[in-house]
Structure 1
Amino acid sequence: MEKKAQMRTMFTSSEWDECKWSKTVKGKATYATVMSITFWNGVNLCLKVFAPLVKVLRIVDADKKPSMGFLYGELKHAKEAIKEALNNIEKNYQPIIEIIEARVKDRLDSPLHFAAYLLNPYYFFKDMGIKLDHEVMDGFFNCVEMFYDANGELQSHVVNIELPKYTHKEGTFGKSWATQGCAENDDNYNPVKWWITYGNHTPNLQRMAIRILSLTSSSSGCERNWSTFEGIHTKKRNRLDVHRLNNLVYVQFNAKLMNKQKREKERNVDVLLASDASNAQGWIVEGGDDEEIDPGTRLTWEVVGEASGADGMFQPRRSSRMREFHEDDFQSEEEEDEQELNEFDFEFDEDHVLEEYGEEEV
């Protein structure tokens, strides 16, 4: 969408008319697409619908603060933003909301999610009506029963004595600076730190809130470690003992975190929440941000090997799935049709998606 004007200019230029690709079937189809008003309206609508969901995914994937306390609340905000983007016309937004709710059901609506939503003052202090939501309160009660299992007296004390102090903003919860401390979800706000500061008069509820709000809701950190393990534990280096292997992963992964934090300070921007999606590429694709790392601060494989005492130098592996594209890779429609079936291995369509594809003209 940002390059809409430039793309239209390119396809209306004399250079495009003289280009051999403009005579191919795909070239003509691309020209019709780029010049179509309907296509760009669809792109704009897709951005309005998916932008709130992408924001939720980036919050979940961020590693500055735990995301459990924000997931349910941000999902609610995302659904409201989608409704507004579709002018609050039910027939337009209802199919999308149904898909989201189907994905959320039995996955992101557990008692932990509800309790974290209630105990996060960023949401509760803005909407005191959350305590009237029976799903949220039932989820919180279930968490109390599990957290203080087999201790009915303590459960009763948390629910009947300590919780009302929080929900009615009594004591330190009612201080103006307590409200100001959770008014904005910025880099300075962390619900765990907020409870440590203002929850001293409700020690049992404080302990429960800190434990729940300290949870993550994504396995991204583990997956990044798996990629690091893959790069270290190769076939030629499979005799490393577990202790040394863990130390190598610890050194390399934390070096990446240090470089990431350094870049954030230099840019003064959150990599995963930035408006420029390319800033997150380094975490999405392995090695995607290698060029942005200062060579003076890069922790090379040689240094890691020397520090660990491992035999040989570590060399990052190049993925066999990556290749460069050249002009010769592109062919006309007629040339591609002859080779198309021989070049691709098709997977079994288990969900029968292809049966419905193409029934309606886009």
Structure 2
Amino acid sequence: MGQNEVTYKECSWITCIADDASFIRVFIMNHSMRLVMFNEFCPLKLLQVADTRFASVVIMLKRLKLIKRCLQVMAISEQWASYREDDVGKAQKVKEMILSDLWWDKVDYILEFTAPIYDMIRVADTEKPCLHLVYEMWDSMIEKVKVAIYRHEGLEDDKYSSFWSVVYDILIDRWTKNCTPLHCLTHSLNPRYYSTEWLLENSKRIPPHRDHEISMERSKCLDRFFEDVNELNVVKSECAAFSGGRFPPPAVLTDRWVLQPLRNWSTYKFIHSLKRNKMTPARAEDLVYVHSNLRLLSRHNVEYINRDTKMWDIAGDS
């Protein structure tokens, strides 16, 4: 069986639950009388989130979970049973899903094992410097996802879970695609990861300088750093000021690399706004790519270096 077939077999149920949730929302929103009933029983609104928005399925499921009791009271009410003007078959299907404990258990499970992923991305989707936190956040997130899945399946840590294996491969593929030597370097420069308090939180943790992968990637990043002639001249002067060592002290590198925010999500939000939300995912990704690279290229222009325009992106897209 191919990898795609295995992934589909293990994860297709998540798509089914997401489709069911969308079916419930569309049925209520597209039938005026059902919407009137919903508004009578629930003070909150059903959220309609475009697929290209951040974590659209998770946000939709969170809202359904929040209004679960209101939906169930509405489904067993006399108003719901007595109204026969719309599609009765669809109304019965919606009622069965709303009242199904098994269906809600699956919703809870999805929200449980995706919560660490959602929380990690939310932390990265800010204007504050967090590049030095990404490596550790990914490690912690993967461990939390595993704990949630194994707890739900009732397995010990050393047992095999086919679902976790597929989820793990997906997460590692994404991390491999996005991880750069800079993440490892900034991680190794963070004093927090050398502290006794942090190391004792988990017996599997080791300081960055003893981690072979981090050390190798950090060396790659430093090699690239010294390949740039302009940066090399700066580093030489800094090294001369600090007893002539080959590398500048960690504080200097920290100022250069650690204090950098991750702005990709913020750029995406700037391009794909609530008012401009009908773009396809491919078009939105192309615009994010062009926008980010134009901003980087502009820093080499004479106007950017010598004029007031050099301050235009100091606060990000906002």
TM-score (norm 1): 0.46
CA contact (8 A) 2:193 2:207 kept: no
Query: Which residue of the partner structure matches residue 173 of structure 2?
Result: 102
Looking at structure 1, the residues matched to 97 and 271 of structure 2 have their Cα atoms a distance apart, in angstroms, of 41
Query: Which residue of the partner structure matches residue 130 of structure 2?
Result: 67
Amino acid in the other structure paired with 2:80: W
Looking at structure 2, the residues matched to 49 and 21 of structure 1 have their Cα atoms a distance apart, in angstroms, of 40
Looking at structure 2, the residues matched to 226 and 12 of structure 1 have their Cα atoms a distance apart, in angstroms, of 43
Query: Which residue of the partner structure matches residue 143 of structure 1?
Result: 221
Runs of 4+ in structure 1 over 4 Å off = 223-228
Looking at structure 1, the residues matched to 182 and 258 of structure 2 have their Cα atoms a distance apart, in angstroms, of 9
Deviations 1:243-297 (A, max 9, x none): 9xx98xx69x98x96xxxxxxxxxxxxxxxxxxxxxxxxxxxxxxxxxxxxxxxx
Q: Are residues 40 and 116 of structure 1, via their aligned partners in 2, closer, same or farther at CA, if it must alter by over 3 Å? A: same
Map 1:274-289 onto structure 2 (within 5 A): none
Report the secondary structure of 2:179's partner residue: coil
Map 1:1-362 onto structure 2 (within 5 A): 1-20=65-84, 24-63=88-127, 65-86=128-149, 87=151, 88=157, 90-91=160-161, 92-105=163-176, 107-125=177-195, 126-127=198-199, 128-149=206-227, 204-223=249-268, 226=271
Q: CA RMSD in A?
A: 3.9
Deviations 1:5-61 (A, max 9, x none): 221111111111112367522211111111112111111110111111111111121
Q: Are residues 123 and 32 of structure 1, via their aligned partners in 2, closer, same or farther at CA, if it must alter by over 3 Å? A: farther
Looking at structure 2, the residues matched to 208 and 101 of structure 1 have their Cα atoms a distance apart, in angstroms, of 28
By relative contact order (CA 8 Å, sep 6+), the higher-ranking structure is 2
Q: Percent identity?
A: 18
Q: Are residues 217 and 62 of structure 1, via their aligned partners in 2, closer, same or farther at CA, if it must alter by over 3 Å? A: closer
In structure 2, the gaps of 5 or more residues are 1-64, 152-156, 200-205, 277-302
In structure 1, the gaps of 5 or more residues are 163-201, 232-241, 258-362
Give 1:214 deviation, angstroms.
2.1
CA contact (8 A) 1:16 1:22 kept: no
Give 1:75 deviation, angstroms.
1.3
Looking at structure 1, the residues matched to 160 and 189 of structure 2 have their Cα atoms a distance apart, in angstroms, of 31
CA contact (8 A) 2:72 2:99 kept: yes
Give 1:226 deviation, angstroms.
5.0
